[in-house]
Amino acid sequence: MHANSLTPEGRRLLDRRRFLGDAGRGLGGAALAWLLARDGLLAAGDGRPPPLRPAIRPDAPFAARPAHFPARARRALVIFCSGAVSHVDTWDWKPELFRRHGQPMPGAEGLITFQGEQGSLTRSPYEFKPRGQSGKRISDLLPHLAELADEMCFVHSMTARSNTHGPAENQMSTGFTLEGFPSMGAWVSYALGTEAEDLPAFVAIPDPRGVPQTGPSNWASGFLPAVFQGTAFNAAKPPANLAPPPGSPPAAEAATRRFLGLLNARHLERFPGDSELGARIASYELAAKMQLSVPEVSDLSRESPLTLRLYGADDPDPVRAGFARNCILARRLLERGVRFVQLFNGAYAMGEGVGNWDGHKKLKEQYDVHGPILDVPAAALLRDLKARGLLEDTVVLWTTEFGRMPTFQKGASGRDHNPKGFTVWLAGAGVKRGFSHGATDDFGYRAVEDVTTIYDLHATLLHLLGLDHERLTYYHNGLERRLTDVHGRVIAQILA
């Protein structure tokens, strides 16, 4: 029977049935697409291969997992200088700043930036000298790190999306200016697990003076399973509640742990496939192991007096000695198989430049304090990693959240925030040595050559660890989330 021969009521019923049938098939198709996407079996619409999500054992979420392809680095160290280190006073030599000192910056008359109107171009108060065989000019502010110029791979054309410390810290650590996203260390531990059986996969080491401005957001797990967040402690302040109760003999403690392990195993058998339960049990078991491992790894009395002196851990200044001891702790964690260590230099504190590199008003006075705190220990850490052979399979990233202006602020002796161009450097596994990539303009104001983004930096770091930044995803709220969002490219020019 043709639809036109039906009564109006019949046509309405037929149309309703057709609509309901089509809707049912459409919902079924949408549900299938969701399931395929959730399980990483749906190819991208542009023909890209599907995501590569790690197979995580519920009972062992920290177990080492294979990379996507052969990795150049087995582990990563990030040295994060909080407060925005001025690139034009450290790594990025600009002779035009010396030649045009005191003159207006061309094309920027009356320029208003983060804290107000800018004054004239201002040369660095520190001299820049050629270093090593590469002849790289580096400031006298960091003479010990400068001696290692031939180990470093500089990226002078980095850019950020925010000129405010908090959002910029978030972007450098998580890829997003907003809070609530997984940090790069969380992504790496989610992808690769750890080679350390009794230590976390990801450790964050706060500065002796406190935490950076956005605090735990720098090492948070965001929407990734909570087991992959960073464990934060430093040489002076280990994790809380590590010591057993007073009067509890070691044999009793060991027997208690064995009994708890038996109960947990039976409980997990009743709920097979419950990843949250498995992860929670694994976290408690790791915490028990850390009661033994963390005191040992934090016990720097086992280091030789020569090592302590090389790092500056015997410095009478407690802040210098504290950061030096944190650098030794970072090395000890890396050599014990911790996958990702994020070492902070500088902490948020009320008052200009008190605890970090935020040199708005009195740059030289502040940097004369902060430079030596970083310089000797960080240089010793690099030398020590190399001497022990760890630099061959460890990638080191030195970074800050953005750069500084080539001008001084009007009425001040310091530089304002500048996300338009700044410097980061890498060293170790998989990167060129004594190499510079990209450039800012003649004054260090804006990246103009081989401009790079934080997304590119993250893509490159993951690549060195054997991970494809476009395929390492986590399905969350209907989206395939990535550390690099929908951006980023590997900076191939800096790869060895």
Across the range 142-164, mean pLDDT stands at 98
Evaluate whether residue 292 is within a structural domain: no
Mean pLDDT over 3-22 rounds to 59
Query: In the chain, how many domains are there?
Result: 2
Q: Give the pLDDT mean for 165-185.
A: 97
Tell me whether residue 281 is in a domain.
no
Q: What is the pLDDT of residues 367-394, one digit of tens each?
A: 999 999 999 999 999 999 999 999 999 9
CATH number of residue 209's parent domain: 3.40.720.10
Residues 158 and 17 in one domain: no
pLDDT, residue 274, reads 64
Average pLDDT over residues 391-400: 98
Angstrom CA distances, 367 to 85, 352, 444, stand at: 9, 12, 18
* Within a domain: 169: yes
Residues 114 and 14 grouped into a single domain: no
pLDDT at position 249: 75
**What does the block give as tokens for 49?**
């291969």
Q: Are residues 478 and 391 in the same domain?
A: yes
Residues 21 and 157 in one domain: no
Examine residue 287 and state whether it is found in any structural domain, yes or no.
Answer: no
Whole-structure pTM value: 0.86
Q: Is 60 exceeded by the pLDDT of residue 343?
A: yes
The pLDDT tens digits of the residues spanning 318-341 come to 999 999 999 999 999 999 999 999
Q: What is the pLDDT of residue 46?
A: 53
Are residue 29 and residue 153 in the same domain, yes or no?
no
Rounded CA gap, 391 and 384, in Å? 9
Specify the pLDDT at position 108. Answer: 77
9 and 117 fall within a common domain = no
Count other Cβ atoms within 10 Å, centred on residue 19.
Answer: 10
Residue 291 has pLDDT above 60, yes or no: yes
Per-residue pLDDT at 21 exceeds 70: no
Q: Are residues 79 and 28 in the same domain?
A: no
Long-range contacts of 267-276 (CB under 8 A, 24+ apart): 268/58, 268/59, 273/58, 274/58, 275/56, 275/58, 275/61, 275/225, 276/225
Q: Looking at per-residue confidence, does 157 or 197 come out higher?
A: 157
Residue 249 within any structural domain of the chain: no
What integer pLDDT is reported at residue 265 of this predicted model? 73
- Helix 318-335 vs helix 363-387: crossing angle, to nearest 10: 30
Based on the domain organization, do 34 and 100 belong to the same domain?
no
Q: Provide, rounded to the nearest whole percent, the portion of the chain with pLDDT above 70.
A: 83
The reply to whether 21 and 121 lie within a common domain is no
For residues 12 and 84, state if they share a domain: no
The Cα–Cα gap between 478 and 459 comes to 23
Contacts 24+ apart (CB under 8 A), 215-219: 215/348, 217/169, 217/170, 217/173, 217/174, 217/179, 217/183, 218/80, 218/169, 218/170, 218/173, 218/174, 218/183, 218/342, 218/344, 219/173, 219/183, 219/185, 219/186, 219/342
Domain presence at residue 251: no
pLDDT, tens digit (0-9, with 9 covering 90-100), for 440-458: 999 999 999 999 999 999 9
Q: How confident is the model at residue 263 (pLDDT cuts 50, 70, 90)?
A: confident
pLDDT of residue 445: 97
Per-residue model confidence (pLDDT) at position 109: 76
Predicted local confidence at residue 169, as pLDDT? 97
In a domain, 443, yes or no: yes
Residue 402 resides in a domain: yes
Same domain, 17 and 95: no
Indicate whether 463 and 387 sit together in one domain: yes
Residue-wise pLDDT for 202-220, tens only, equals: 999 999 999 999 999 999 9
Structural domain range at position 179: 75-238+303-494
pLDDT at 289 over 80: no
Is pLDDT above 70 for 23?
A: no
> Which of 180-189, 227-236, 284-293 bottoms out in mean pLDDT, i.e. has the lowest?
284-293
